[in-house]
A and B are shown apart, each in its own frame.
Chain A
């Protein structure tokens, strides 16, 4: 069962979620760029007009100071400082010791700036019952007699607007990202639910139940269209597979029935004859040949069955299977003076056919015992865990030359060197078919000396 955490992480991995994230990032960047541009334009217009205002005032006062006496100039400054119509304008006239003479700023700002440069400083301004620090922007210029003049404007409001815009911008970006992620998460969940239903059915189909079909909802979106097409494909596969199975079944029937008659006729006639008579020996040879044919037929049918993939699959305890096969073959190899080593990792499980896997292992062990000289060794290993177990059968026989390893997996190939041993030549092809049926990989290798066969699941 999938834990909630895994399901959550699964949604984060879906393509709609990723697309949504990419889109919300792109959109957030766009929104940020747009707001940045607006902010830039607005501050240029507003800052520009304030600066012009101050510069004009400086220019005016410079002219006034030339025509007015000091006391008149002070009066003018006082007057302008009190003027309620000019909101936010600040003035300060100081003596050479920088002591305030006139104006509405309590003290000369502690900022050293030359004439004509812009100064920014903070001034405490009454704000209801409290005072607030306001940002001021100003210019200074010298007055006759070592006096100094400061003319500026309150820019706090402008800054407030700017901050508000910045906050709005950040909120917009964050909201975009959150909405994008939320939307992506929702779409991801939908896709995951559909994909989950599809993969559940696919697993059942792969385990041999060809009658299953993908769930289709009454909608024309891409997934449903895809599911419908896959279902049509599955119909065809089912027909083909059933067709192959029918051909296989009738071939089996048409071959087994006459073989059975042959066996029955030979056995029936044999029972009428005296044991040891020449006629009886002939019939005994007939039944022996029937046995051989049956063996070959069984092997061919099992190969075909494995290749059509119509065998019902179930969980198989591979560890138990390998251990029990080793145990089954231990006495017969001991009889031959062959040491059968085994190391079987516990808990290995695969989905498949226990009987076919057993047959494949039996073929490998039969081969190993057949080709290993007396006093040799056979090693059977089951490595790896639940997920990807590997079965290895090694012997100290003659092995198979590297250039012929591909060849022996084909149908009925018996190398010249093997002709002195009995067998149908189907053993390894059955192993190959069974391996393929289980989605495993069959590798023949040099065990130095001997053959090393590995089944990687």
Chain B
């Protein structure tokens, strides 16, 4: 994937570029808003990571300009501001996701992955049936089966599983789950998400040979068929 990083803080930018290259992305960097906008309009880019406060052209203005020219590429906004409202402003300006500094690289990578695949998971969005290996989820009948055996889930477990299945094969972090399933944007002190996940795991993996729901150490969870 070709990723553009627009970030004025060189330490953060260099580490981000290095980390993205290490996982196999092509990376272009810009240190201010104008250079970023110029790069974004001149070369083919799959995804942009834009810092919110940039010299010359503000990050939000950059995203708005991009959107005004009809560019639909996914944009992740990085912000060193407060939060709550800033997040909403960022998303309204045309950002697809919003991450507050300081962040863990694993969190950023997981979110980029989710953003990149959102384009081709558009089908999954419309699909009423999601499937992974022998696990099936029907959004219309709200029925979940594994190996044709019906699995009883609570309403929230169903939502959680649906979210995981839409992101199957990707790493999903705890904050992504809290945002995506509950629509909350804070870090709970207690391990609330882990307990919900372990209940879901009980329901879908316990009576079957091959586990599908995996814990990714230091990052989050992943629903995938193990090779």
Residues of A within 8 A of B (CB): 248-249, 252-253, 256-257, 259-265, 267-268, 287, 290, 294-295, 298, 301-302, 304-305, 310-312, 324, 327-329, 331-332, 334-335, 353, 355-356, 358-359, 362-363, 366, 369-370, 422-423, 427
Contacts and interface: CB of A to CB of B under 8 A. Distances in A.
B187 A295 contact: yes
22 contacts: A252-B80, A257-B12, A259-B101, A260-B12, A260-B80, A261-B11, A264-B12, A267-B19, A268-B18, A294-B102, A298-B83, A301-B82, A305-B83, A312-B85, A328-B184, A332-B191, A334-B195, A355-B184, A363-B189, A370-B189, A370-B190, A422-B189
A19 to B, nearest CB: 45
Nearest to A255: B80
B150 interface: no
Contact of A249 (B18, B81, B101): B81
A358 B182 CA distance: 11
B181 to A, nearest CB: 9
A295 B183 CA distance: 19
B58 to A, nearest CB: 13
A248 to B, nearest CB: 6
Nearest to B199: A331
Given A256-B101, A305-B82, A332 B190 contact: yes
Interface of B: 9, 11-12, 15-16, 18-19, 53, 80-85, 88, 100-105, 156, 182, 184-192, 195-196, 199
A253 B81 contact: yes
Contact of B102 (A263, A268, A370): A263
Given A295-B187, A355-B184, A366-B188, A311 B101 contact: no
B172 to A, nearest CB: 17
Given A253-B53, A256-B102, A355-B184, A302 B83 contact: yes
A290 B102 contact: yes
Contact of A332 (B9, B100, B195): B195
Nearest to B188: A362
B188 A257 contact: no
A353 B82 CA distance: 15
Contacts of A422: 189
Q: B16, B85, B186, B187: which has the most chain A beta carbons within 10 Å?
A: B186
B192 A332 contact: yes
A259 B102 contact: yes
Nearest to B156: A327
A57 B13 CA distance: 127
Contact of B101 (A257, A329, A335, A355): A257
Contacts of B192: 328-329, 331-332
Contacts of A261: 9, 11-12
Contacts of B188: 328, 362, 366
Nearest to A369: B190
A262 B11 CA distance: 9
A427 B11 CA distance: 33
Contacts of A353: 84
A298 B103 CA distance: 12
A358 B190 contact: no
Contacts of B53: 253
A264 B11 contact: yes
B190 A366 contact: yes
Contacts of B195: 331-332, 334-335
Contacts of A249: 81-82
Contacts of A305: 82-85
A382 B185 CA distance: 22
Nearest to B79: A256
A434 to B, nearest CB: 11
A260 B18 CA distance: 15
A46 B185 CA distance: 94
